[in-house]
Amino acid sequence: HLSAGVPGSVAGMLYALQKYGSMTREDVLAQSIKLAEDGFEMEDRLAESLNSDFDLFNKFPSSRKIFTKGGAKFKAGEKFIQKDLANTLKLISIHGRDGFYAGITADLIVKEMQQGAGIITKEDLLNYQPVEREPVHTNYKGYDVYSMPPPSSGGIALIQLLNMIENETLPDRNDVYYGIKEQSNYYHTAIENMKRVYADRSEHLGDPDFWKVPVSELTNKDYAKTRRNEIGENSTPANEIKPGVFVKESDQTTHYSVIDKDGNMVSVTTTLNNTYGSGVVVDGAGFLLNDEMDDFASKPGEPNMFGLIGNEANAIVPGKRMLSSMTPTIILKDGDPFLIIGSPGGGRIITSVYTSIVNIIDFKMSLDSAIDKPRFHHQWQPEYLQYEAGAVDDEVMAKLKEKGHQVKQISDYGRVEGILVDWKNKVYYGHSDRRGYGAAIGY
């Protein structure tokens, strides 16, 4: 219970609906209420996912009641019904934010907190407000890239990575791969860039309402050149990479990308942090509490569950929003829609989105190939390259090791969801990552 932060998704989505939407709350929530109330047949992957956290759910009676089948594991094809969640959604549909942050639902949250020695109060719920901020922006090779600003580190980190390679001559990667030397140099540079960006993340990123985040400095192209010029022929040890000096986040999270017939685009990343957050369901309300407090630097300099380091910028303060790696991104070409993209994946979200964008813009891959291509990732600390099977050719890997890179193969990560737009011909290409169980749907 102590790991839970004040839930923000309800307030944020209601704010967006009221300011930018064209439908009523009742219409928006009707289908979700029906699915929760009537249930749906559980697919293999959902049953497998819930069963993988079976022991966690069994710790809490309220969670066991919903996310296990009477204390037993679910089987694919069984109906999954969430009556309490349906009632909570009905209250939101009728009363708006007061249906969640006040009244019955708020009372249930506070009661759950008190039962588990949590500290969220009714006052915390009433005081929570969403904040609308300007997205961060860069122009990358003629494409306008817009992404999430602090307190997420994702947008700034993405822009840094793009700025650092903008002036690189990237070899043509049409089916016939370029030489081993060129490949190893490309991966070496990309890895070293990632190290420096994550080092900056650890030092400078936090909630801008509580910490002066040097956004313009970090996203400045001259700064990117300075950081790029630090890179030598060999791997730089993590302890020799310091955050830049200026003039004075598992297969977790959910992402979806949306575009309508008029070209209105939405890129949304939302999270409980860990797969099922804290694992605690608010009894009687039917939803899980997050464990977002882990995204703060509870002890500056020490890693969180994703191995990410944070310092004073992301220290815990009442009312503060925690740092994240969410990177929902929208890209325009000549002012027209071009790409909506984002991913779950904890600290690897940033590089999942980054490599997908580079695959599309620089290497001219189709959307599905760009997203499905095996990935690689480095986050400064721990000090090794993380890569999926097939991400790097064996000969190239040998060259990287010669340069001093430590390497570790990991299981597939991230689930990028993207829409590529041919605006001139009004053709939309959607793709849901092969690593996940999403879908590309049009109507």
382 vs 394: which has the higher pLDDT: 394
- The structure tokens listed for 400 are 């990287």
Topology (CATH level 3) of domain 136-250+324-432: Serum Albumin; Chain A, Domain 1 (1.10.246)
The pLDDT, as a whole number, for residue 247 is: 39
Read off the pLDDT of residues 355-374 as tens digits, 9 standing for 90 and up: 999 999 999 999 999 999 99
**Catalytic residue list contains 253:** yes
Q: Which of 174-188, 237-251, 339-353 has the highest mean pLDDT?
A: 339-353
CA 229/CA 341 separation, integer angstroms: 29
User: What one-character-per-residue DSSP string does 177-219 give?
Assistant: ---HHHHHHHHHHHHHHHHHHHHHHHHH-S-TTTS---HHHHT
Asked if the model's pLDDT at residue 41 lies above 60, the reply is yes
Average pLDDT value for residue range 157-173: 87
The residue from 253, 269, 275, 351 that is catalytic is 253
Residue 278 CA neighbour count, 13 Å, CB half: 24
Task: Of 227, 198, 214, give the one whose Cα is nearest residue 149.
Answer: 214
d(CA 112, CA 98): 18
Q: Which residues contact 313 (CB under 8 A, 6 or more apart)?
A: 203, 204, 205, 206, 211, 213, 297, 323
Of 258, 427, 433, nearest in space to 356 by CA: 433
* Residue-wise pLDDT tens digits, 407-425: 999 999 999 999 999 999 9
Q: Where in the chain is the domain with CATH 1.10.246.130?
A: 136-250+324-432
Note the pLDDT tens digit of each residue in 119-162.
999 999 999 999 999 999 999 999 999 999 999 999 999 999 99
Residue 380, sorted as left (phi over 0), alpha (psi -120 to 50) or beta, turns out to be left
d(CA 400, CA 181): 10
pTM, two decimal places: 0.89
Q: What is the pLDDT of residue 183?
A: 87
Task: Please state, rounded to an integer, the average pLDDT across all residues of the chain.
Answer: 91
How many CB atoms sit inside 10 A of residue 310's CB? 25
Does residue 246 register a pLDDT over 50?
A: no
Rank 244-258, 311-325, 410-424 by mean pLDDT and report only the highest. Answer: 410-424
pLDDT at 68 exceeding the cut of 70: yes
pLDDT in tens, 256-288: 999 999 999 999 999 988 889 999 999 999 999
**DSSP sequence for 101-127:** HSHHHHHHHHHHHHHTT----HHHHHH
* Averaged pLDDT, 361-389: 95
At 346, is the pLDDT very low, low, confident or very high (cuts 50, 70, 90)?
confident
